[in-house]
Amino acid sequence: MSNPVAITAALRLTMEHEIPAKLVRELRRADDFIRLAVVGGFKALAAAPPREMAPEARGVFIGTAFGPLETNFQSLGSLINDGEGQISPTLFSHSVYNSAAGYAARLLDFQGPALTVTDYGWPFLIALEEARLAVASGRVERALVLGVEVYSELLADAYRRSFAGRQVPWHRGAVVWVLDRAAAVESRLALLREVEVTGVPCATGDYLTRTDELCRVAGRELAPDRHTLAAVETLSDLVKDLPVGTAGEIDWVCSASFGSASLRLLV
Amino acid sequence: MTTPNPPDNRPPQVAVTGLGGIAAGGSDSAELWRNLAAGVVRCGPVPEYLFRTILNFPVFAAPQNCLSDRARALLAETCPNFRAESVSRTILLTVTAAAEALHQAGIGAADLRKLRVGIALGTTVGCTFHNEDYYVAWRDNLAPDLAPVHSYLGGNVAAALHRLLGTRGPSAVVTNACASGTDAIGIGRNWLAAGHCDLAIGGGADELSRVAYNGFASLMLADTVPCRPFSRDRQGLNLGEGAGVLVMERQESAVVRGGKVLGRVRGYGSAADAHHPTAPHPEGRGLKTALAQALREVGAGEIVLVNAHGTGTKANDQAETAALAVALPGAAAAAIVSTKGFTGHTLGAAGGLEAVFTLLALRDGFTPGTVGCGELDPGFAVRPLLHSEGRRLSGRLGLSQSLAFGGGNSVLVLEAVV
């Protein structure tokens, strides 16, 4: 059985976001990776149609290339500075990639699956397809899908030294979508058909430069900014701002030296 | 690509046609199973070939040379220029387990090139940047050589296995902490059911790391002697390393190509506790939900074996047994064991290795007891097996379940076909 899947909210977030008052206390010890995920999820859910459902019917799906990399280095620094057995427990637990999914599940009361996947190509789209399958198969009624990146100063230094002092193109941010079983919602941005991501071997530096990444939608070419979230940020804007009265299928494809990705929207 | 769904629209059966594993207890699944049954425990100080430490928490280390001859032979065909020193230990462990599983499935290099191969692997250490020399030099503004950064960028375990095997298809590295390997097998199953690939390699891998070792020490979750899951006097876990992998296919496809069906993945469930950043829900709330999801196709009464997460920490073993008492009302009939007294806690690899052990036990109709458990905690609502209580199994269906940091819980329903 395959249920049609609706996109009911799509937004992007940068670090300039304001933390909602009800989350301030809960997020006081959280790192930026966790904050982006939780606040992004909170805002996307506020934008989605309200639905009554059991918490077990809601799932969180996060895709990230670099995860909580800055916290990972703080944890490593704590080991080096403070000595063996002295890593801060909070730093260590927050350096685990799925800490953000755990926070989001707890603070937003999602008691279905909480999945984190990592990939250097299009991690948000990999998480999106897992979420789509979960809704389509009836395992969940609603899925919160997040792409989150916070990078790190070490990575930025490596970028500048690898590519002749070029300005680092990325920013800390998140892309957040909400998926719902289509029959359960009256309003939606679009229906989501299959998402396909295929990776191919490439020079490792290509994951940082993304110089040949090119997206096409409805015959138009879009050259996104050169960072992991850029292509899906433009996709998110497209979904959010589909003109009223648009109808038909929209194919979005993206290609780069590290592979290809595509998805089909029905509006 | 074959038709994803049978005509009556039931989800296709997902068959297991190959198993592979490597851990402290053995370099392939047969040796692991033999040594588990014999109660061989290879737990000791951290070997110098991994890292130096002044802490005294023992570990379960895989052999120093963890790339098997079978893996070398496969790579000679699929990636002739391969150099073992160019990839991480986690990737070497992965290739060894995958090569064994593919060999058992009768899938060779030429077959791999013709198929859409999905690779879903769980890891925790394998996705992180833990090169201390680089980090220290960078922090000191010494502009270190960038090779470790490029190694990190080439270290995505699923992408690396695709690259080394020369395969194309969906790819996912699951980073759900200790439940990653179980979730990766569930994802592979879902891909096959949806028609996304013809063959899926699912499981997990992790190497021992100094950061994780110290992290668990700082959380006061590690034991200074070999761990004792479910014991009254348990004091925590020991870390381990390894890889465990299943080769999965749609049953129809496996039969058509003449592959031997070893088992089936009959269910998968995953759910969050939504309770605490590191501690499990005391009553196993998320695990109960995951069990209910996984058991949609198979009745709880048909389960004869539960390979539990059973880390040996106070909180995990309590939560897990509490959930099993509710979700498997006839749990007294099922043999409940943990294999972490044999492997240590291999983090992202645990779900893969434990799925392999579950299928081997169901195949043989026998499970060893819980290695390290001499006297049960009397506070449990169900009764796991002591080490001395190996048991004959009267059926072919079992569970392999994992609990994770962050409150993740994942369950597989596995069936042996004999």
| The token pair that represents B54 in the structure block | 């002044």
Task: Give B228 or A165, the one with higher predicted confidence.
Answer: B228
Instruction: Give the distance from residue B36's alpha carbon to the nearest chain A alpha carbon, in angstroms.
Output: 30
- Which residue of B3, B51, B91, B129 to mutate against A (max A Cβ within 10 Å)? B129
Binary contact (B218, A110; C-beta < 8 A): no
The two tokens of residue A78 are 């704590």
Helical residues (DSSP H) of B25-141, grouped into ranges: 29-38, 69-78, 89-105, 109-114, 132-139
Residues B246 and B328 in one domain: no
pLDDT top residue among A200 and A244: A200
In which domain, by residue range, is B335 found? 266-416
Q: Out of A109, A198, A204, whose CB is closest to B153? A: A204
Smallest Cβ–Cβ distance between A76 and the set B171, B211, B407 belongs to: B211
Whether B116 maps to a domain, the answer reads yes
B163 forms beta bridges with: none
| pLDDT value at residue B277 | 86
DSSP state of B7: T
CATH, residue B229? 3.40.47.10
Nearest-angstrom CA–CA distance, B357 and B263: 12
Q: Is B3 domain-assigned? A: no
Q: What is the pLDDT of residues B330-350, one digit of tens each?
A: 656 899 999 999 999 999 999
In the predicted structure, residue A245 carries a pLDDT above the cut 70: no
Please report which confidence band the pLDDT of residue B3 belongs to, taking 50, 70 and 90 as the band edges: very low
- Measure in Å the smallest separation between the Cα of A129 and chain B Cα atoms: 10
Instruction: Tell me: pLDDT of B15 over 80.
Output: yes
Task: Return the SS3 of B381.
Answer: coil
| pLDDT surpassing 80 at residue B237 | yes
Residue B125 within any structural domain of the chain: yes
Three-state DSSP string of chain A: CCCCEEEEEEEEEECCCCCCHHHHCCCCCCCHHHHHHHHHHHHHHHHCCCCCCCHHHEEEEEEECCCCHHHHHHHHHHHHHHCCCCCCHHHHHHHCCCHHHHHHHHHHCCCCCEEEEECCCCHHHHHHHHHHHHHHCCCCCEEEEEEEECCCHHHHHHHHHHCCCCCCCCCCEEEEEEEEEHHHCCCCCEEEEEEEEEECCCCCCHHHHCCCCEEEECCEEECCCCCCCHHHHHHHHHHHCCCCCCCCEEEEEEEECCEEEEEEEEC
What is the Cα–Cα distance from A33 to A125, expressed in whole angstroms? 18
State the pLDDT at residue B2.
41
Which one-letter amino acid corresponds to residue B311?
T
- Write the pLDDT tens digit of every residue in A65-92: 999 999 999 999 999 999 998 999 999 9
| Cα separations in angstroms, B305 against B129, B189, B369, B397 | 38, 21, 11, 7
> Do A120 and A206 contact (CB within 8 A), yes or no?
no
How far is A60 from A40, CA to CA, in rounded Å? 12
Residues facing residue A14 across a β-bridge:
A173
In whole angstroms, give the CA distance from residue A172 to residue A49. Answer: 27
- For residue B133, the tally of other CB atoms under 10 A from its CB is 10
Where b means 16+ CB within 10 Å and e means fewer, B218-240 reads bbebbbeebbbbbbeebbbbbbb
In terms of C-beta distances under 8 Å and separation of at least 24 residues, what long-range contacts does A240-246 make, across chains too? A240/A10, A240/A11, A240/A189, A242/A189, A242/A190, A242/A267
Using the 3D structure, point to which of B229, B263, B297 is the last residue of a domain.
B263
Q: Do B175 and A87 touch (CB under 8 A)?
A: no
Q: What is the pLDDT of residues A84-127, one digit of tens each?
A: 989 999 999 999 999 999 999 999 999 999 999 999 999 999 99
Q: Of B124, B272, B278, which is closest to A110 when you measure between CB atoms? A: B272
Q: How would DSSP label each residue in B219-257?
A: TT-B-SSS--TTBTT---B-BB-EEEEEEEEEHHHHHHT
Query: Which has more confidence, A180 or B5?
Result: A180
**Mean pLDDT value of segment B348-362:** 98
Are A142 and A58 spatial neighbours (Cβ–Cβ below 8 Å)? yes
Residue A165 sits at the chain B interface (C-beta within 8 Å): no
- Complex ipTM: 0.96
Q: Comparing B207-211, B265-269, B275-279, which segment has the lowest mean pLDDT?
A: B275-279
Q: How close, in Å, is residue A188 to chain B by CA atoms?
A: 24
The type of residue at B378 is P
B244 and B115 together in one domain:
yes
pLDDT in tens, B32-81: 999 999 999 999 999 999 999 999 999 999 999 999 999 999 999 999 99
Taking CB atoms and an 8 Å limit, are B176 and A115 in contact across chains? yes
Output the pLDDT for position A2. Answer: 72
Q: Which of A263, A262, A256 is nearest to A211 (CA)?
A: A256
Is residue B59 within 8 Å of B44, Cβ to Cβ? yes
- Assess if residue B228 is contained within a domain: yes
Instruction: Give the integer Cα–Cα distance in Å for B128 and A65.
Output: 11
Which amino acid, one-letter code, is at B370? T
Given an 8 Å threshold on Cβ–Cβ distance, is A96 in contact with B124? yes
| Same domain flag for B220 and B115 | yes
B316 and B205 in one domain?
A: no
The whole model's pTM is what?
0.97
Give the position of tokens 């149609």: A49
* Average pLDDT along chain A: 94
Q: Is residue B140 part of a domain?
A: yes
Tell which of B78, B176, B283, B293 to mutate to test the A interface (max A CBs under 10 Å). Answer: B176
CA distance A112 to chain B (A): 4
Structure letter (DSSP) for residue B39: T
Contact B270 A200 (CB under 8 A): no
In the Cβ-directed half-sphere of B119, how many Cα atoms lie within 13 Å? 30
Mean pLDDT of B87-108: 98
Q: How confident is the model at residue B9 (pLDDT cuts 50, 70, 90)?
A: low
CA dist., res. B186 & res. B179, Å (int) = 11
Quote the CA–CA distance of A122 and B408 in Å, as a whole number.
Answer: 24
Query: B306 with B243, same domain?
Result: no
Shared-domain flag, residues B104 and B240: yes
- Stretch B281-286: mean pLDDT: 96
- Total domains, chain B: 2
Q: Smallest Cα–Cα separation from B106: which of B204, B12, B242, B15?
A: B15
Q: Which residue among A111, A118, A139 places its CB closest to the CB of B156?
A: A118
Residue contact A75–B215, C-beta within 8 A: yes
Average pLDDT estimate for B243-257? 97
| Same-domain pairing of B224 and B323 | no
Q: Where among B235, B263, B291 does a domain terminate? A: B263
> Cβ of A97 under 8 Å from any chain B Cβ?
yes
Confidence of residue A18 (pLDDT cuts 50, 70, 90): confident
Nearest to B265 by CA among B226, B297, B230: B297
Residue B90: both structure tokens together: 């986690």
Residue of A nearest to B140 (CA): A154
In a domain, B39, yes or no: yes
Q: What does the pLDDT look like over B290-346, one tens digit per residue?
A: 999 999 999 999 999 999 999 999 999 999 999 999 998 865 689 999 999 999 999
Contacts of A253 (CB under 8 A, 6+ apart): A215, A216, A217, A260, A261, A262
Same-domain status, B211 and B359: no
Task: Clarify whether residues B301 and B163 are in a common domain.
Answer: no
Q: Are A147 and A124 in contact (CB under 8 A)?
A: yes
Q: Quick check: is B1 in a domain?
A: no
Residue A236 contacts residue A12 (beta carbons within 8 Å)? yes
Q: Looking at beta carbons, which residues of chain A come within 8 Å of B159? A: 119-120, 199, 201
CB contact under 8 A, B274 and A105: yes
Strand partners, B336: B306
Spatial contact of B339 and B305, defined as CB atoms under 8 Å apart: no
- Give phi and psi for A173, each to the nearest 5: -175, 180
Please say which residue of B224, B243, B263 terminates a domain. Answer: B263
Asked if A119 and B173 come within 8 Å (Cβ–Cβ), the reply is yes
Q: Which of B129, B138, B159 sits opposite A199 (nearest CB)?
A: B159
* Residue of chain B minimizing CA distance to A108: B274
Same domain, B227 and B363: no
Say yes or no: B310 and B238 in one domain: no
Q: What percent of chain A is modeled with pLDDT above 90? A: 86
DSSP B64: S
pLDDT value of position B331 = 59
Structure-model confidence comparison of residues A222 and A257, the more confident one: A257
- Give yes or no: residues B34 and B138 share one domain: yes
Please state, in angstroms and rounded to a whole number, the distance separating the CA atoms of residues B320 and B315. 8
Domain-located, residue B395: yes
Domains in chain A: ranges and CATH: 5-189 (3.40.47.10)
Could you tell me what percent of chain B has a pLDDT over 90? 94
Q: Please say if the pLDDT value at position B381 is more than 90.
A: yes
How far does the CA of residue A226 sit from the closest CA of chain B (Å)? 16
What letter does residue B54 receive in the DSSP assignment? S
- Closest chain B residue to A259 measured between Cα atoms? B168
